[in-house]
Amino acid sequence: MSIEKNCTNVLCDGSCPMCSLEIKQYQKIIPDSPIHWVDFSSPEFIAPLGQTQASLMQRFHVAQPNGELIFGAATFVSVWEKLSKFRYLAALSKLSEMLNIMEFGYANFRTLWIWRLP
């Protein structure tokens, strides 16, 4: 399993129950989305250049069609922009300082979530 060229690739941890639940919700709402969902916990996964599976597990990542790799709260915005039912969230996130607030919340939530994992 690898990243497809010329499309948005969401790199997600299929072994994480919370991550899987969120991705399944996106897929259920918009099954024919313009997003390639890549489970990097799969043994067949081929990491993008300069990345490891361990580094990808630290944060949510999106590989853009131009090859740019983004991470953190900005990835949610990237996904929401591509899903018509979520575009309003993408627009809200672009309000002054909203992305910084989202990043702060995501970083703190992620720390708490990782701490609670077995």
First to last CA, the chain: 27
- What would the two tokens of residue 11 be? 């790199």
Q: What stretch of H or E contains 24?
A: helix 17-29
Q: Where residue 7 falls among pLDDT bands split at 50, 70, 90?
A: confident
pLDDT tens, residue by residue, 15-30:
877 788 888 888 887 7
Q: Is the CATH code 1.10.287 the one for domain 8-116?
A: no
Q: Where residue 111 falls among pLDDT bands split at 50, 70, 90?
A: low
pLDDT tens, residue by residue, 27-56:
887 777 778 888 888 888 877 767 777 777
3-state secondary structure 83-107: CHHHHHHHHHHCCCCHHHHHHHHHH
The structure's pTM equals 0.78
